[in-house]
Structure 1
Amino acid sequence: MQLSLAIPTPLQYFASLVESDDHFPLLESAISLAQDEYPDLDVQQVLGDVDQLLARLKRRLPVDAPALQKLRALNQFFFHDLSFGGNVNNYYDPDNSYVNALLKTRRGIPITLGVLWLELASGLDLNVRGVAFPGHFMVKVNLPKGQVVIDPFTGQSLSREELAEMLEPFRPKSGGNDFETPIGLYLQSASPRDIITRMLRNLKEIHTNQQDWQRLIAVEDRLIVLHSDAWVEYRDRGMAWAVQGQNALAASDLEIYLSHMQDPPDHQVVSERLLELRQSSA
């Protein structure tokens, strides 16, 4: 009997990681996103590099260190000693979304920095979560005397007043005395699937703005693996396939979108594009 030793593709490997919400390795999934850009990337090596950082950090702390001491040591190590921080000079560089690049440059965007910080914090047994704050990913840690919200882009802890100010652009504009959503609802924990989705949608926006259709398609492939019922992603992948001249693949994706969406606002536009694709393939 012949054994199959086929190496999984990056997309197959990603699919195996994100299959279950009960066993969803956030850091490994985040690292794997870079495999489309860096085909020779060794994900296990990157995981090992992060483990080494954690080991260095743990050597700074006594075994019985309280949570607040651990948090202070982590922030000193991460933001000051290692100088991790936001890439203010080139915020929309795709490398900011890749953990392997972040480890080399020490520069990234809030969510990538946040994922790495969360891994180190979890390794110290801190009670931490990611926060899908509008427009800016945050991290939070629960301490015996309360909750601390940290901006992983700057390393600063944020007061409720500062968070409320950051929320202003996202609040509905109304002249009446409408009910204002409590700020706590914006600080709910984000699941690992939500975090990886947000990372991919950041990349999607970058590749769309740069009209980099091949890279956009690779991102859409992963989004559809994450959310098989994300019909808008089928539409967007189909449009990208069409620009690439892959009419059959484009038509298939647009058909899926139209068959599952009930009267979407772009129904006519997508239907007309689908008809053009069918006619050009006839």
Structure 2
Amino acid sequence: MTDSTAGADMASENGDPRAVLTAVGALEDSEIRIAEAGLALAAMDRQRSVPESYHEHLAAIDAEMQKTAAELDCSAADDKGLANRATTLGKVLAGNFSYQGDRVTYDDLQNANLMRVIDRRKGLPVALAILYIHAARSQGWAIEGVNFPGHFVVRLHNAGKALILDPFAGGEPCTTADLRRKLKAAAGEKAELQPEHYAAVGNRDILLRLENNLKIRLIQEGDLEKAAAALDRMLLIAPKHAPLYREAGLIQARLGNLNAARAALERFLEISDNDSQRHHVARLIQDLGQQLN
């Protein structure tokens, strides 16, 4: 399936966010249109379809990107072209559309819902990163998420060179010293940069990371019903991700939904290759069976 075919499939399901996410679950990672999938996650969280205004907003970002990229001459295959592309992203998203990181109410659940991020023009690093990725790819530019701990960033490529940008800080480029400071702020003064901190993150994992922020906060607040719903959304887009079934089963068991818990745990056993967890889950399923009998 080509990117255009995948996009058409997702667009055809815009009225039904569950159908969009189910379609995402069947796509290759490179075929996922990340902003549209993020809007579907947000719509399911709010139990509604995605209003057309949000798709129009993404189109407006695309148009501003095209205009600004032409003004700044981003076509050069050199360091200047890369710098101009980074400047364009910041100028459009942080400048024209006023997107910024929410430093005041960082843990607000709205910061992990892409529709509310668009409404409020602020959010978590990973939510803002989705918009930066969408904006760059609308121009055919190479960009990816970066597996940086505690503070999501993106990496923009051009002509064999790359810049790491911080969407939470208006798309500012990050030096190695900047990243070291961010790491120590997130993981402690003894933490040091490691190669894995620069690893690329695929579209599916970015969406999971976005939704995981929501799930963690809901669990901390004791709202297991909504946390279970978040896991359901995560499983729609990552139906082969075994650990999610285990977590879903444990939460459903805590909620007293024993049949749902057993179904999730049995699915975990079917697809997981973690022997130690498989043994533990098998015992949990036995315990659940005794409670159901």
Give TM-score, length-normalised by structure 1: 0.81
CA contact (8 A) 1:132 1:195 kept: no
SS in 2 for 1:149: strand
Match of 2:50 in 1: 42
How far has the Cα of 1:281 moved from its partner?
Answer: 2.4
Q: In the alignment, is residue 161 of structure 1 matched against residue 161 of structure 2?
A: no
Q: Is the 8 A contact 1:34 1:41 kept in 2?
A: no
Aligned twin of 2:41: 33
Which of residues 88, 91, 107 is equivalent to 1:92? 107
1:264 paired residue number: 277
Residues 28 and 43 of structure 1 are in contact (CA less than 8 Å); yes or no, is this contact kept in structure 2?
Answer: no
Alpha-carbon distance in 2 for matches of 1:30, 1:240: 24
- The reply on whether 1:111 has 2:122 as its aligned counterpart is no
Distance 1:20 1:255 in 2: 24
Q: Which amino acid aligns with 1:166?
A: K
Report deviation, 1:103.
1.2
Which protein has the larger Cα radius of gyration, Structure 1 or Structure 2?
1
Q: Where does the alignment leave 5 or more consecutive residues of structure 2 unmatched?
A: 1-12, 75-80
Q: CA RMSD in A?
A: 3.1
Specify whether residues 61 and 280 from structure 1 end up closer, same or farther in structure 2 by C-alpha distance, changes over 3 A only. closer
Take 1:164 and 1:46, find their aligned partners in 2: how far apart are those partners? Answer: 36
Counterpart CA distance in 2 for 1:152 and 1:264 is: 37
Letter in 1 for 2:247: D
Which letter maps to 1:196? Answer: L
Could you say if the C-alpha distance between residues 173 and 7 of structure 1 is closer, same or farther in structure 2, counting changes exceeding 3 Å?
A: closer
Answering whether residue 231 of structure 2 is matched by residue 220 of structure 1, we say yes
1:95 counterpart letter in structure 2: Q
1:203 aligns with 2:214: yes
SS of the equivalent of 2:252 reads: helix
Question: 2:62 aligned to 54, 62, 83, which one?
Answer: 54
CA gap of 1:208–1:158, structure 2 versus 1, over 3 A, is same
Deviation at 1:195, TM superposition (A): 0.9
Question: What stretches of structure 1 of length at least 5 have no aligned partner?
Answer: 1-5, 175-179
Supply the distance in 2 between the matched residues of 1:247 and 1:106 (Cα, whole angstroms): 41
Q: Does 1:71 align with 2:86?
A: yes
Give the Cα separation in 1 of the matches to 2:194 and 2:243: 30
Counterparts of 2:138 and 2:224, CA distance in 1: 38
Distance 1:162 1:248, change over 3 A: same
The answer on whether the counterparts of 1:10 and 1:32 sit within 8 Å (CA) in structure 2 is: yes
Q: Distance in 1 between matches of 2:86 and 2:189?
A: 35
Relative to its length, the structure with more helix (as a share) is 2
- Give the SS at the match of 1:18: helix
Which residue identity lines up with residue 30 of structure 1 in the other structure? G
CA drift at 1:241: 1.6
Q: How many residues align?
A: 269
Matches of 1:40 and 1:12 in 2, distance apart? 13
CA distance in 2, matches of 1:262, 1:51: 47
The answer to whether the aligner puts 1:234 opposite 2:245 as a matched pair is: yes
Q: Is the 8 A contact 1:114 1:130 kept in 2?
A: yes
- Does the CA-based 8 Å contact 1:31-1:43 persist in structure 2? no
d(CA) in 1 for partners of 2:53, 2:42 = 13
One-letter amino acid of the structure 2 residue matched with residue 233 of structure 1: L
